[in-house]
Amino acid sequence: VADQRDLANEAALAAMARHALHDEELVAGYAANGLESEAEIAQARVLVDRCTVCRDLHRDIAAIGSALAVEGTFTTKAPRDFRLTVEDAHLLGGRVVTRGFLASLRRSLAGLARPIGGTMATFGLIGLLVGSAALSGGGATGALSGAAPTSAPAELQAGGTQPGPKSSTTDTAFGPMATVESTRAGAGGDRDLTAVRGTNPALWLLGGSVALLLVGIGLLLVARRRARGTDDSS
Amino acid sequence: VEDLRATTVTDDPVQRRDLILLDRAREGDLAAFNDLVVAYQDMLFALVVRMVPDRDQASDAVQEAFFSAYRNMAGFRGGSVKSWLSRIAINAAMDAQRLKKRRPADPYPELEDEAWQPPADASADPVTTALTTERHRALNGALARITNDQRTAIVLYDVEGYDYAEIAELTRVSVGTVKSRIHRGRLALRGLLEDRMDLFRG
């Protein structure tokens, strides 16, 4: 028995001596399936097959790997509450209240976007129709009797000048150009200026209506997009 | 503020919830951000305390991670909020490790093992549960004694399931260095657990 024991010890010592030259990291990599090169894998396999110490190492490291994988299933509670206070948020960004205010303002405006947008678009459309009718139907001054100054006929009577080509110029000219044309009118300037003033409301009404319509449609689109986003999130 | 829901399409309800909360937080809604904190504080603490085995330091690191997340919300470019927060927490943990390295006189204290809960498995018999818990204690004790770099690599690879390339990116080293740290770390663990390997041999 003693001889057998000695032989076993000698064999173990010999194995240890041989193992001293072996690359343990290679065996560890092999156990973790972390080797990529075929040569390294083959070398590690030879070590594990032929060296008992390497074989034990391989087995142990694989077992530790399995135990580590189970570690991820253990849970623990955070020892304190990590929620940020308003003071923290101020220190970190300094804009939390402002941003919160802006956010709530944006949400409130988003809620109003549909009614306001609808109203604006409606008024824009009406304005556009009225403006177009005013321009197309018998000249701006005549058609816009409600909106334009009523002094035009009286002035025509007072000046005694027949409306001629100059007045047609004022029908088509707009803004500064119309003013230039009217100042060129000489003696009939007063009457022409009045005519220009009479034309402006129709054109301004048209321009304003188009702007109103576009803004209204924009607001409606924003409200629709917002509503879709809310539907998606809910 | 970029609408995250518009840029990131996901079917995962948790991820959708996270994106909505982050979107609101970015608009200045602190309560939405705090909802995210509540959702992830335990998970992030578990991750960080494995890398920094000192509950106080780990707590500070997690708090710092949430501060950093709040500061850098605008930089979030879509994807998983959980992954984003995890990355920030890993960076905070590595900062805590570096701080610890400058004060090596204070060793890591013994972990409060009672704070960890084994996986809830009603079918597991008490012996198996006890063995799992004992393994966990032995392993955690050994993990606390290997180097920070090795522990970080092992925790990220074996416990958290990141791949080599992701760990290399997170820790700003090469893939080869990551592999070497993992393999050496496992060897070191085996050396530390030599007397208790019967627990692990099945």
Q: Express each pLDDT in A57-100 by its tens digit.
A: 999 999 999 999 888 888 889 999 999 998 888 888 755 545 55
Amino acid identity of B101? K
Lowest mean pLDDT among A22-31, A123-132, A146-155: A146-155
CA pair distance B106, B100, nearest whole angstrom:
8
Are B96 and B57 contacting, i.e. CB atoms less than 8 angstroms apart? Answer: yes
Residues 6+ apart with CB under 8 A from B9: none
Do B46 and A73 lie within an 8 Å CB cutoff? no
Q: How close does chain A come to B194, measured CA to CA in Å?
A: 9
Residues 6+ apart with CB under 8 A from A83: B34, B37, B38
Single out the residue of A14, A40, A46, A13 nearest to residue A25, CA to CA.
A40
Helix axes A189-233, A152-159, angle to 10 degrees: 160
DSSP secondary structure letter of residue A85:
P
User: What value of ipTM does the predicted structure carry?
Assistant: 0.84
Give the residue-averaged pLDDT of B24-43.
93
pLDDT at A144 over 90: no
Q: Express each pLDDT in B159-179 by its tens digit.
A: 999 999 999 999 999 999 999
Q: B116 — phi, psi (to 5°)?
A: -90, 140
Helix (H, G, I), strand (E, B) or coil at A76: strand
CA pair distance A233, B68, nearest whole angstrom:
26
Helix (H, G, I), strand (E, B) or coil at A150: coil
pLDDT at B124 over 90: no
CA pair distance B59, B1, nearest whole angstrom:
31
pLDDT at position B102 is 59
Helix axes A38-50, A52-71, angle to 10 degrees: 110
Give the residue-averaged pLDDT of B31-50.
95
pLDDT at position A161 is 43
Give the residue-averaged pLDDT of B141-155.
94
Do A86 and B202 lie within an 8 Å CB cutoff? no
Chain B contact probe: residue of A30, A76, A80 with most B CBs at under 10 A: A76
Q: How close does chain B come to A62, measured CA to CA in Å?
A: 9
